[in-house]
Structure 1
Amino acid sequence: MLTNAPDYSVYLVTGRDLLPSGADYYQVIEQAIKGGATIVQVREKKCQTWDFLEIASRTKEICHKHNVPVLINDRVDIALAIEADGVHLGQEDMPISIARKLLPKGSIIGVSCNSVEDARNAVKDGAGYVGIGPVWFTQTKSDLKPTLGPRGAGEILETLSGTQIKAVAIGGIKSSNVLRLLHGAVSTSDRPLDGVAVVGDIMAAQDPFAATLRLSECYKAFTKSPPPQFSLGSNASDLSQNIVSHAATLLKTIREVGPLVHQITNNVVMNQSANATLALGASPIMATAVQEMEDLSKVSGALLINFGTIGDKLGMLEAGKCANATRKPIVFDPVAIGATQHRRSAANELLSAWQASVIKGNPAEIGALANSAEVKTLGVDSLGSGFADPANLVRRLAKKERCIIAMTGKKDWVSDGKVAICINNGHELLSKITGSGCMVGTSVATFCAGASAVATSASTYDDERVLVRGDMLAGAIGGILAITVASELAASRQDVKGTGTFLPALIDELYNLTPEKLVDRAQIEIFG
């Protein structure tokens, strides 16, 4: 048995049935270890005891040659027979307390967890680590539990905060989604995962060394620096001045660069959203076909997903994954999420598939995401007097979702999880026209595209841990200010007589908006 503390970062779970034709199991194990696998679990569900012993014994020889611990899935007897470094137990397997009595002192004992209750029991029973999953759908297990997604894994991880218990995630994990998982599965106390457990992405690979190396490099990129910070300035007074100045700079960048803004939005507002994008100086493309998403992610500056009618969910899923892969900002507008169970399920599916940069919504929508009952929903509208403490609400949700939260209403609130910013601009006529909130989402996506353009040319944003480059806090605030300031200017015009003349005037004022107007008229408050 090895005595060094185990490294769970790249946790290989074996699966001989997944091997490519002609591949040698033992060579795959050795190549995976050379590629960066730090711990190996031998899992044999359909193997006779004698064969299991032989496989486990030879696997241990390879692992210990490279100073890598080897664990046995389920079978404590096999672990004892080969003097393995420990076992991994399922919820229906031998209790931890019994396994602890049978195994030598210092043995590693891990347990599978699919719920907060499972994790609490693991803490109580003294597990050495937990395997949280399945995160995504996987074909490697027949008794599949409900998939958790990165956000669900983060909730279970929260249970382990303040303990010494390590945690790995498992289920459908591969190099193309591991950064999404690592970024999203973090507890509100900033407790990250200690590693990722992978089966098929390594065992089924034609080149297991390269497959493991990709996973290892992703994990190292995630851990090599602190979590990305979006705030500008070190205190409230600095931030108030800097954020407006930076937002104004983004408007200038948009006019100079003219970024492409990919928008999947509802057909009620498609035309005015496109016109607002053009008025700000960017180019809109409203594309929903799954087949286009990879190509569009390479040329667009940002992605807006407004699921107002939820008619293109497959396109939304693929677009978000491709945007994450190309480090492009994603602005998510969960329209009327609290109105139906279908909308809540769809939003959860989307947010489990990709990492949003900004989530923008009205009080009812943000309240639904935060599981708050303070504000009710009526279709796409909010009912009630508002939140008693909106600053803390958006701050908590931003920390939970690992992104910027923008809550729009009579007052607009934006947070990165550290500070909360209140924007006091706007005119009441905005609430009298269809789709004004959707236009805010369009504007935010456009400003985030501007931020992405700045970041792409700056060497300071080379860290691969930052899934979406650029300052999304400035993008969210700039996008809101653009619409609200333009609404004030439009409403003050003599040719505006009501809602019918207000909308075209609003587009005009977006077109004529300057960085100087944005700075002069911005009214923001900082809540630290």
Structure 2
Amino acid sequence: MGKAAIDYSLYLVTGRELLPEGKDYYESLEEALQGGVTVVQVREKDTDTGEFVEIARKTKEITDKYNVPLFINDRIDVFLAVRPAGLHIGQSDLPLARARELVGDDALIGVSVSNVDEARAAVAGGADYVGVGAIWDTGSKDVTAKLKLAPEGAGVVLDVLEGVPSVAIGGIHPPNVPQLLHGSVSPVNRTALDGVAVISAIVSSADPRAAAAGIRAQVDSFKRARKTGNTQAVFSGAKAARTPKELIEQSAALMAVVRDNTPLVHQLTNNVVINDSANATLAVGASPIMATNPFDVKDLSPAIGALLVNFGTITDKAGMLVAGREANVNRKPVVYDPVAVGATAFRRSTSKELLSHWQPTVIKGNPAEIGALAESTEVASRGVDAVGGGFANPGSVVKVLARRKNAIVVMTGKHDYISDGETVLKTSNGVDLLEVITGSGCMTGTIVATFCAAARLHFLASNAAVENDSQLVQGDHLVGALAGVLVFNIAAELAAARPDVKGPGTFRAALIDELYNVRAADVLARAKVEVLEV
């Protein structure tokens, strides 16, 4: 009798103590199964054996009715009394080898893992699946002593699983499911989670059927997107290799999308560049809004075209946390500009906190900022400036970081490097005067956000049938990022060539003029783009 194949898409861990007042456990369970739960684990940490066996027996009757496999948490004796599909054990429970001896070869055994070493041991020991976590803080279990993995950490674990199925657990709720699924795709093997394990998001709900159905729809959407290639970042729709000419033409075409639709670009940016960033946004045909209050940004999110988070002065962290999460929920592009992230411990910890709360679509920075996120020592930071000789292979740096972060990465400088984790682009437009005005990099982020909004609008106009799908964000954001970089730098070239430009002051004013005047024909004629083999 072989082991049954399991659909791990929506894994419910029970928690009777979390039920809302007046809600019966068995009633809640059956409604959750009707909503799309595919696996159930009974967890009863403080229940005596007799009661646990009775709960497990009645639970199995209900799960059998829906042909859904049941697992018992930790307790071999309860497993042997009820004989469900399998057993789930943690790192402090019975060793995997001993558990296998007791339950037999036909039973499934899942193992909780929180790091790469534990995952390797589980695979070597013959675990049938692993529970990866805790991803975030959770009130359902005491994980205060453990390092929270966040989606990126889960992705690193997935790289060593060798085909063993995985579910993530810990602090998972409907608003962060898309971020988790997209952000945890493994950086090397490009494997994804098989499902998500939830407790309170379903158990605590007064309508567990609807709660389960909502999460299941998100998981199913992600899996569909993986099959079709239409997902965030490295799955952005760039299915086939494109020539520089094609990429430039696609970038230029987005200029009309911006001017025809006037997307609202929400910017939480540093107070040094607020005015310039707003004017740059207006100049290219979009509309800026600079709201920072957490209550404000939540209400604005459904209406925006894209979000820019530039934490140069880090005065609005609460708003940044809410804005990024709401943009993910509403499937809007998020451009993250971690200004001077490597300069101080506070900036590094703030960046980590932001990226644990939401998934960026594009990460844009100078070599020092990208180097800090990539944990490289090749380029150092001095305030907002990069110092040192530069990266030996900048294309490889952006490609590796894009795969790690599941985001488009844009590294600005004398040459700009852009990657989605597969394709690496090098652009060579721009002028030296950009280095002697404040905020040129920040304005680049503004224009990138504007054109990512256009990339999403273009996608939706061409794919109306999938507009309401629950993917994290839709659109070819590699082209969106490229268009933003090209438009900004070509406008700078046009500004610098004007006879009225005498230095930084006149150049700054001329730059806004040329962002207003630049047209698709200028991009087609002047863009310098290479596709690198990295």
TM bucket (normalised to shorter chain) is: over 0.9
Give 3-state SS (helix, strand or coil) of 2:265's partner.
strand
Within 2, Cα distance between the matches of 1:221 and 1:231? Answer: 15
Task: Please give the residue correspondences for 1:306-385 in structure 2 after superposition, counting only pairs within 5 Å.
Answer: 306-385=310-389
* Aligned-partner Cα distance in 2 for 1:478–1:64: 54
C-alpha contact (below 8 Å) 1:40/1:70 kept by paired residues? yes
Q: What does the per-residue CA deviation read over 1:463-520, in whole Å, with 9 as the maximum and x for residues that have no partner?
A: 7354212221111111111121111111112211111211111111111111111111
The amino acid of 1:293's aligned partner reads: V
Counterpart of 2:218 in structure 1 is 218
Contact 1:2 1:64 in 2 (8 A): no
CA distance in 2: counterparts of 1:326 and 1:468, whole angstroms: 8
Match of 2:193 in 1: 193
Of residues 61-70 and 190-199 in structure 1, the stretch that sits farther from structure 2 once superposed is: 61-70
Alpha-carbon displacement from aligned partner over 1:440-464 (angstroms, at most 9, x marks no partner): 0011111112222222322267173
| Separation in 2, partners of 1:143, 1:491 | 56
Give, in whole Å, the separation in 1 of the partners of 2:11 and 2:401.
Answer: 31
Summarize the alignment of residues 27-38 of structure 1 with structure 2, pairs less than 5 Å apart. 27-38=27-38
Contact 1:233 1:239 in 2 (8 A): no
Counting only pairs closer than 5 Å after superposition, residues 489-504 of structure 1 correspond to structure 2 as 489-504=494-509
Alignment partners' CA distance in 1, 2:303 and 2:105: 57
Distance 1:111 1:27 in 2: 28
Shift of the alpha carbon at 1:331? Answer: 0.6
What code does the residue aligned with 1:335 have? Answer: V
Query: What is the deviation of 1:231?
Result: 5.9
Match of residue 524 from structure 2: 519
Q: What SS does structure 2 have at the residue aligned with 1:366?
A: helix
The aligned residue for residue 157 of structure 1 is 158
Q: TM-score, normalised by structure 2?
A: 0.95
For residues 450-469 of structure 1, the aligned pairs below 5 Å read 450-459=454-463, 462=466, 464=469, 466-469=471-474
CA shift for structure 1 position 2 = 9.2
Matched, 1:391 2:391: no
Which residue number corresponds to residue 173 of structure 2?
174
User: Equivalences for 1:438-453 in 2 at 5 Å?
Assistant: 438-453=442-457
Change in CA separation of 1:217 and 1:121 when aligned onto 2, cut-off 3 Å = same
1-structure distance, mates of 2:237, 2:42 = 45
Residues 1:234 and 1:87: Cα distance change in structure 2 (over 3 Å): closer
The corresponding residue for 1:477 is 482
Report Cα offsets for 1:124-150 as digits up to 9, x if no partner. 222211111111111111244222211
The one-letter amino acid of 1:440's match is T
The 1-side partners of 2:175 and 2:16 are apart by 22
| Equivalent position of 2:182 in the other structure | 183
1:50 aligns with 2:55: no
Q: Secondary structure at the match of 1:177?
A: helix
Question: Counterparts of 1:71 and 1:56 in 2: how far apart (Å)?
Answer: 9
Distance (whole Å) between structure 2 residues aligned to residue 59 and residue 284 of structure 1: 54
Q: How far apart, in 1, do the equivalents of 2:143 and 2:214 lie? A: 29
Q: Report sequence identity in percent.
A: 51
Q: String of CA shifts for 1:89-139, please: whole Å, max 9, x gaps.
A: 111111101111111222111111111222122122222111111111111
Partner residue of 1:96? 96
Residues 232 and 243 in structure 1, CA contact (< 8 A), matched pair in contact too: no
Cα distance, 1:4–1:358 mapped onto 2, change above 3 Å:
same
Closer, same or farther: CA 519–341 of 1 in aligned 2, 3 Å: same
- 1:65 is displaced (CA, Å) by 2.5
Give the Cα–Cα distance (whole angstroms) in 2 for the partners of residues 287 and 427 of structure 1: 32
Asked whether 1:287 is paired with 2:287, we answer: no
Secondary structure at 1:254 match in 2: helix
Return the alpha-carbon distance in structure 2 between the equivalents of residues 39 and 466 of structure 1.
23
Q: 2:506, 2:465 → 1: CA distance?
A: 43
What is the alpha-carbon distance in structure 2 between the residues aligned to residue 74 and residue 195 of structure 1? 21
Comparing 76-85 with 431-440, which one deviates more in the overlay? 76-85
Distance 1:233 1:177, change over 3 A: closer
Q: Within 2, Cα distance between the matches of 1:65 and 1:231?
A: 41
- The residue number in structure 1 matching 2:72 is 72
Between the aligned partners of 1:178 and 1:410, the Cα distance in structure 2 is 38
Greater CA drift, 258-267 or 83-92: 83-92
- Counterpart of 1:230, as a letter, is S
Contact 2:137 2:143 in 1 (8 A): no
SS of residue matched to 1:349: helix
- The DSSP-based 3-state class of the residue aligned with 2:225 is coil
CA offsets 1:35-86 (integer angstroms, 9 cap, x no match): 2111111000111111111111111121122221111111111111211222
Letter paired with 2:498: R
Distance 1:460-1:395 versus aligned 2 partners, 3 A rule: farther
- In 2, the alpha carbon distance for the partners of 1:459 and 1:90 equals 44
CA contact (8 A) 1:455 1:461 kept: no
Residues 2, 67 of structure 1: 8 Å contact kept: no
Q: Structure 2 vs 1, CA of residues 391 and 197 (structure 1 numbering), >3 Å: closer, same or farther?
A: same
CA distance in 2 between counterparts of 1:170 and 1:231 reads 29
Give 1:310 shift. Answer: 1.3
| Alignment partner, residue 251 of structure 1 | 255
- Counterpart position of 2:492: 487
Higher alpha-carbon deviation: 259-268 or 169-178? 169-178
Task: Let me know the Cα RMSD of the aligned residues.
Answer: 1.6
Secondary structure of 1:304's partner?
strand
Given that 2:128 and 2:164 are in contact with CA atoms closer than 8 Å, whether structure 1 keeps it comes out as yes
What is the CA deviation profile of residues 363-406 of structure 1, one whole-angstrom value per residue up to 9, with x for unaligned ones? 11111111111111111111112111111211121122112110
Which whole-Å CA distance do the structure 2 matches of 1:312 and 1:225 have between them? 34
Find the aligned partners of 1:178 and 1:74 in 2 and give their Cα distance.
26
Which of 506, 513, 519 is the aligned partner of 1:508? 513
**8 A contact 1:231–1:473 mirrored in 2:** no
Match of 2:202 in 1: 202
Distance in 2 of aligned mates of 1:133 and 1:461: 35
CA contact (8 A) 1:232 1:242 kept: no
Q: Tell me which residue corresponds to 1:302.
A: 306
Distance, in Å, in 1 between the alignment partners of 2:237 and 2:47 is 54
Query: Does structure 1 residue 268 correspond to structure 2 residue 272?
Result: yes
Q: Distance in 2 between matches of 1:90 and 1:13?
A: 14
How far the C-alpha of 1:326 sits from its partner, in A, is: 1.4
Q: Distance in 1 between matches of 2:456 and 2:270?
A: 24
What secondary structure does 1:262 align onto? strand
Q: Distance in 1 between matches of 2:273 and 2:224?
A: 43
1:60 has 2:60 as partner: yes
On the 8 A contact 1:263/1:284 being kept in 2, the answer is yes
Cα offsets for 1:180-212 (capped at 9, x unmatched): 111111112111101111100111111111111
